[in-house]
């Protein structure tokens, strides 16, 4: 049996959304795996963005490293992935009446988002008899492989409730917009964007540092603006902007969206098959106009997405059409799908910054001498974070037989 790990830390140095503790989290976990759990240094792949000599945690590099690890796995192997960095949610953008969910994502250093559907595909490729554990210390991480059984948390219930509310309000475009705006007001502060965007999420600082850091913190949409030099990025243009800067290396889910919009433009003149008017139609029309403009400039603009297979519309919709993940997939998340994870900065010692959840894991491993189960770790982390003043609630998604297994075998 082999133990293999991939550790990903994104501090986004030099950007408006820079974090301080994520690379520290990776270094601590690297030492922990070697000293506490017997991993070989040769079997740990580290991707960080603060050292040019290391593999950079770009979307392409992360996908490539995960695929390599999964495809080389054999019967009995244990695979471990730890991510510390920004997380976000992409709202629905097709303009279709039944596309009303979110895609939960992690945010690599180049903004080439890795979406929950991507993680689902990684887990499905794990050979039978192997297990893969994903520890995600990022905002909205409770939804990354949400189709695994939720043992601790309420991300699934929240998602169902949200979707129910969406459908209740679909008869009124104003009702849907009002509901979405209410959700956005709970999660973000508008910075002059025309339509409040669920893409705008930031990791919360420690409560003692929050006020001081508020003006310095920026979110992922600011990084997109920084990369593109454009200020008109909004709901309806998020996936298209990602494709515009990433092209063939973009997430398969983003490519499916491009192909969907292209086909709608070609076959329906850009009109939604289910016309509801109002906010939904406005969001969908932004995507159509953006792609149409790009195709007028370059007829082959969408070619990198055309080979992507799209079996049905549900494969494109945000947060929809997912199969249940079975087997060895385990997700330990730093928070629920509608929450944020904290990046903590100890007063007077910025070099010791850390992700609150990653730090909790290390403290619990030390306290238990590494003899802690998945369930115990998450329950202890919830209690510890609450005692420290954090509001995030870690979660556990896995099949029943992994509930009482050791955190790292």
Q: Is the dihedral of CA 255, 261, 265, 266 positive or negative?
A: positive
C-alpha 282/C-alpha 306 separation (Å) is 25
For the cut 50, the answer to whether the pLDDT of residue 159 exceeds it is no
Beta-carbon contacts of 154 under 8 Å, excluding residues fewer than 6 positions away, are: 336, 393
Q: What is the DSSP string of 86-100?
A: -EEEEEP-S--TT--
C-alpha 374/C-alpha 36 separation (Å) is 16
For the cut 50, the answer to whether the pLDDT of residue 119 exceeds it is yes
For the cut 90, the answer to whether the pLDDT of residue 404 exceeds it is yes
For the cut 90, the answer to whether the pLDDT of residue 163 exceeds it is no
High-pLDDT (> 70) share of the chain, %: 76
Segment 302-330 shows an average pLDDT of 78
C-alpha 219/C-alpha 226 separation (Å) is 11
Distances 44 to 3, 55, 106, 328 between C-alpha atoms, Å:
9, 12, 20, 20
Top-confidence residue, 80 or 95: 80
Segment 283-312 shows an average pLDDT of 89
Segment 296-324 shows an average pLDDT of 84
**E strand or H helix at 366:** helix 356-368
The per-residue pLDDT for 269 is 59
For the cut 80, the answer to whether the pLDDT of residue 279 exceeds it is no
Beta carbons of 101 and 319 less than 8 angstroms apart: yes
Top-confidence residue, 238 or 44: 44
The per-residue pLDDT for 167 is 32
pLDDT tens-digit readout, 189-230: 333 333 333 333 334 333 333 433 333 234 556 667 777 777
Q: Phi then psi for 191, rounded to 5 degrees?
A: -120, 40
For the cut 50, the answer to whether the pLDDT of residue 231 exceeds it is yes
Q: Give 132's strand partners.
A: 79, 329
Which residues are catalytic, by number?
86, 139
The per-residue pLDDT for 221 is 63
pLDDT averaged over every residue in the chain: 80
- Residue 104: count of CB within 10 angstroms of its CB: 31
The per-residue pLDDT for 4 is 97
C-alpha 48/C-alpha 33 separation (Å) is 17
């Amino acid at each position: 049996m082999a133990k293999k790990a991939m550790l990903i830390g994104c501090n986004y140095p030099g950007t408006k959304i820079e974090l301080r503790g994520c690379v520290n989290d990776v270094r601590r976990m690297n030492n922990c795996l070697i000293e506490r759990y017997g991993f070989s240094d040769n079997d740990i792949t580290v991707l960080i963005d603060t050292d040019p000599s290391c593999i950079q945690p770009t979307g392409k590099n992360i996908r490539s490293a995960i695929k390599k690890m999964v495809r080389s796995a054999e019967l009995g192997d244990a695979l471990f992935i730890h991510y510390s960095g920004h997380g976000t949610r992409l709202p629905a953008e097709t303009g279709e009446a039944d596309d009303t969910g979110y895609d939960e994502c992690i945010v690599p250093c180049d903004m080439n988002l890795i979406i929950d559907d991507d993680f689902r595909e990684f887990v499905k490729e794990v050979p039978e008899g192997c297990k893969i554990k994903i520890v995600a210390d990022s905002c909205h991480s409770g939804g990354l492989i949400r189709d695994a059984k939720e043992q601790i948390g309420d991300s699934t219930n929240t998602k169902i409730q949200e979707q129910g509310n969406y459908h209740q309000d679909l008869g009124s475009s104003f009702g849907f917009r009002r509901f979405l705006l209410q959700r956005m007001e709970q999660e973000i502060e508008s910075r002059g964007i025309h339509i409040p965007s669920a893409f705008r999420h930031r990791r919360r600082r420690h409560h003692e540092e929050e006020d001081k850091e508020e003006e310095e913190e920026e979110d992922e949409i600011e990084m997109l603006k920084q990369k593109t030099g454009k200020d008109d990025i909004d709901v309806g243009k998020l996936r298209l902007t990602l494709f515009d800067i990433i092209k063939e290396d973009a997430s398969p889910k983003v490519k499916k969206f491009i192909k969907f919009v292209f086909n709608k433009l070609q076959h329906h003149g850009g009109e939604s098959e289910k016309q509801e008017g109002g906010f939904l139609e406005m969001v969908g029309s932004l995507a159509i106009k953006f792609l149409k403009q790009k195709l007028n400039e370059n007829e082959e603009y969408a070619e990198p997405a055309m080979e992507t297979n799209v079996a049905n519309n549900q494969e494109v919709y945000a947060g929809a059409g997912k199969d249940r993940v079975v087997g060895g997939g385990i997700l330990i998340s730093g928070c629920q799908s509608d929450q944020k994870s904290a990046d903590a900065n100890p007063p007077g010692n910025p070099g010791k910054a850390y992700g609150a959840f990653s730090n909790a894991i290390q403290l619990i491993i030390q306290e238990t001498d590494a003899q802690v189960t998945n369930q115990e770790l998450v329950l202890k982390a919830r209690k510890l974070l609450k005692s420290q003043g954090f509001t995030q609630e870690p979660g556990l998604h896995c099949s029943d037989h992994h509930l009482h297994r050791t955190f790292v075998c």
